[in-house]
Amino acid sequence: STVQQHHLTQPWELLGQGAFAKVFKARLKGSTVAVKVQIQYDRTIVEQRVLRHLSHENIVAFRGTGYLSEDVLQFGLKNGNQFIVMEYLPDSLLQYVERRKTPERQGLTANIVWKLGSQIAHALHCLH
């Protein structure tokens, strides 16, 4: 579905950035979402086509796409930049692992490793 920039509640919080895009936390219709805004041409169009048709518990959910209708100077974003709106996941895998460390155990148990590996394998299977 198409998302208009003004439907994304400000202020946006910068979560991370790479060479081609910046990712923000914002709100859309009362839900917290992740917004990936392209800053250089990349595979955003291909990514949105793939995400749009996927539905799997271990793959981030697609919420919509759009184009910025005005500059967001605070983050160096320009009118016309394409964005993808996705499900927001508050924890990264690294944060998940770090929270499970104890003085006696500095990593994950074998059971958790197998469970995570299985979830990743099922998600990859869905992609192919």
pLDDT tens readout for residues 14-48: 999 988 889 999 999 989 999 999 887 665 666 77
Q: In what order do the strands lie in the sheet with 31-38?
A: 8-17, 21-28, 31-38, 82-87, 62-67
Going by pLDDT thresholds of 50, 70 and 90, the confidence category of residue 124 is confident
| pTM of the predicted protein model | 0.75
Q: Report whether 86 contacts 61 (CB < 8 A).
A: yes
Q: Judge if the upstream peptide bond of residue 90 is cis by omega within 30 degrees of 0.
A: no
Q: Please, what sign has the CA dihedral across residues 123, 126, 127, 128? A: positive
